[in-house]
Chain A
Amino acid sequence: MEAHEVGNGLREAFGSRVEVAVASPKRLYVRVAAVDLPEAARWLRSHLPGCRLATSTGIDLRDGIGLFHHFAVNGQSLVITLKTLLEKPAARAPSLARETAAADWIEREIHDLLGVAFEGHPDERRLVKAEAMADELPLRRGFDVARFKERIGERPGF
């Protein structure tokens, strides 16, 4: 299936709940509300054989935390990105870890670095963030490396 066919399928299934943008025959970007993420992920994985969650990106934007789930399809050039904007400061999103095991680690990573709370995630332990970091969220815009180093007693410029 090419990007526009998947886009049409999503429009039919979700109506006005999705906003589809075809960037190229192999790149599809779909805006969807956080609450619809699990359903959209289920739709993709059941309609596209070989569809898997390749990874997810968390990004601190001016208006909120962007959460982008990138789905690839084995045997095809297509990448479908489900894009959601989560309200700051307490960014919350439903977890996809119950839909696919591939969401497990990447959601933990985004939780570590950007503080997104994934509701229903079975394992909320840290994955990648250093023990010295307490509440710091290193990929948030307000994160100050110098202040963090001072707090943990590291020499400036080290």
Chain B
Amino acid sequence: MSDPASRKVIEIGPFHPLLEEPVGFSLTVEGERVVAIDARMDYIHKGLERLAQERTYDMVPILLERICGICSVTHSVCFCHAVEDLLGVEIPARAAYIRTILGELERLHSHLLWVGLAGHFIGYNTVFMWSWKYREPVCDLFEMLTGHRQNSALPIVGGVRRDLPVEYFPEARRILDELAGQTARLTAAVLDDPVLSARLRGVGVLAREAALDFGVVGPTARAAGLATDVRRDEPYAAYAEVEWDLVTRDEGDVFAKAVVRLLEIAESIRILRQCFDRLPGGPINLGTLHVPRGEGIGRYEAPRGEDVHYVRSNGTNMPERLKVRAPSFVNIPSFKASCLGAPLADVLITLAACDPCYSCTERAVVLQDRRGGPLPGAPELLAASRRRTAELARELGRPPDLELE
């Protein structure tokens, strides 16, 4: 039922209380249905690629840690991969394990952040508070091991700059053990929740063919049936030496993306435990390296998917060109495939489902009963919500775990 005359354009952003970064979405709607979507991206272009051309190979990783508020290890290690590809060198085993530890800690806190935000966007703030509570010890662990919650300044071309303090490993293992139990309970609760199932299953589906056409990566691709993960496809660091499983789903909907991320949390903990147990001795970097003329391509599995860096050297101590392609750059445009035709209310969580480095918004509507009847208060809304949860549980064939009042 298409009626072009009823079309309206809803602008979200570029500045909005719920968007932690400026981005603009234009949603064209016919009634409640979204018929066109466009994104504007030009608010925080920082010119980092050009800045990198004015820094030495030692300084560039520190600059690149500041590309993203979450993926600091990602971009700095990915740049190192590109230069190491140019040089044709392998990094020492200890450095490989240290990079793996950093990368998996980053994936842990990033995935926990997303789970919380996703809960928040659909109005399920219990998930948000629960998930972010568990995220905090991961950031503390990162600080304990590197001196900073976010920017470690550890990766350099040829290895890592400093060693990890092994005296903290027993405490790190204790935190991981605690986290394993907590996140397992969180995962079970989220996957078993009839409200989340009803809200997220079949929503924002990205089909396999569209996923390949848009070239999406990471959990967005793995939830659409594409078994791709740089850690498996092109094993770097210690990923070929530790045991872990690739998580994929075929449904392509928001629920599948949540499942992939939640199960990857358990895999990250599994990888981290092995790395803490098996950290080999030896040097942590290759010392000073001269970068000759040439070019190299680095790939890295960021929490959001494959990161790609292209480096070209003209033989000086600064790169002639650095190209950075973050995973969100290919994941965001796939909204055109997953959002069209969807109701407006579903688009918001669909936009958030690829875990872009910013997220969506929600609207609060206050209804006024013109007949003058009383507006429902908190107790009535809570009772209605419990009734609906029990109904959904019945529809899904689950025993109702909440008593109707």
Contact = CB atoms under 8 A, between A and B. Distances in A.
A79 B297 contact: yes
Contacts of B337: 101
Interface stretch (A6-14, A87-95, A123-131, A149-157): A123-131
A107 to B, nearest CB: 12
Contact of B310 (A68, A126, A129): A68
B221 interface: yes
Interface stretch (B67-75, B192-200, B226-234, B338-346): B226-234
Interface in B67-89: 85, 88
A26 B234 CA distance: 9
Interface in B227-247: 227-228, 232-234
B308 interface: yes
Contact of A139 (B49, B210, B212): B49
Contacts of A128: 41-42, 45
Given A27-B85, A52-B215, A68-B310, A57 B323 contact: yes
Given A74-B228, A79-B297, A54 B233 contact: no
Contacts of A104: 333
A151 to B, nearest CB: 16
A72 B299 contact: yes
A132 to B, nearest CB: 11
A102 interface: yes
Nearest to A109: B329
Contacts of A70: 297, 308, 310
Nearest to B311: A57
Interface string B215-229: 100000100001110
Interface string A51-62: 011110111000
Interface in B180-214: 210, 212-214
Nearest to B329: A105
A106 interface: yes
Contacts of A68: 310
B398 interface: no
Contact of A54 (B50, B308, B336): B308
Q: By CB atoms of chain B within 10 A, which of A27, A102, A106 has the most?
A: A102
A100 B210 CA distance: 10
Contacts of B104: none
Contacts of A138: 47, 50
B310 A74 contact: no
A77 B233 contact: yes
Contacts of A130: 42, 45
Q: By CB atoms of chain A within 10 A, which of B45, B232, B334 has the most?
A: B45
